[in-house]
Amino acid sequence: MSHNTIAINQQMDKFDGHHQVWLFGYGSLIFKADFPFIERRPASISGWTRRFWQGSHDHRGTAEAPGRVVTLAPEPGAVCAGMAYLVTPEEFAHLDHREKNGYLRLAIEISFDEGGSEEGLVYIATEDNAAFLGEAPERDIARQIATSAGPSGRNRDYLVGLAEALRALGKDDEHVFAIERHLADFE
């Protein structure tokens, strides 16, 4: 699959006719909501785990030196904490562009921390996209993050922003926090 997934995402019609749609964010969407939203709630999804396995050629790295950003990997029994945003469908043009580097929209059940759930959308970069970097030792991921930067800034700022946002939510993520600890070795 191409780096640019905008056209593929525009074909998703599951929520056509809806006036509002819940969007689940598990990476920078937790701490950098650069779009208008109606409501925001701490939430989680089940059966997925957050991993720094996606390359960033357009935001936190370049084509020659990609950074690493998070995607979701299926894992039975796992729960991935994040933030849910209630948005209007008009926001998906911006979000499709923001997430164009290999991410596809997926319908998913979102569970809210205060109770209840709703079907909504999440962007996931699967291993068949051209920017997918895959699994690596957390120390190696930290090394790559420490040296990467792109149009949206330093890759380390993305990692640190995510770790701080998870702590503010009171959520633990061993993968993210381990990479953050290793980051100090390369600065």
CA distance 88 to 23: 10
Tell me how long the chain is.
Answer: 187
> Which one from 99, 119, 135, 164 is the annotated catalytic residue?
99
Within 8 A by CB and 6+ apart from 64, the residues are none
Catalytic status, residue 109: no
* Residue 7 backbone dihedrals phi, psi, to 5 degrees: -60, -40
**What is the full DSSP assignment across 90-119?**
GGHHHHHHHTTBTEEEEEEEEEETTS-EEE
Residues designated catalytic: 99
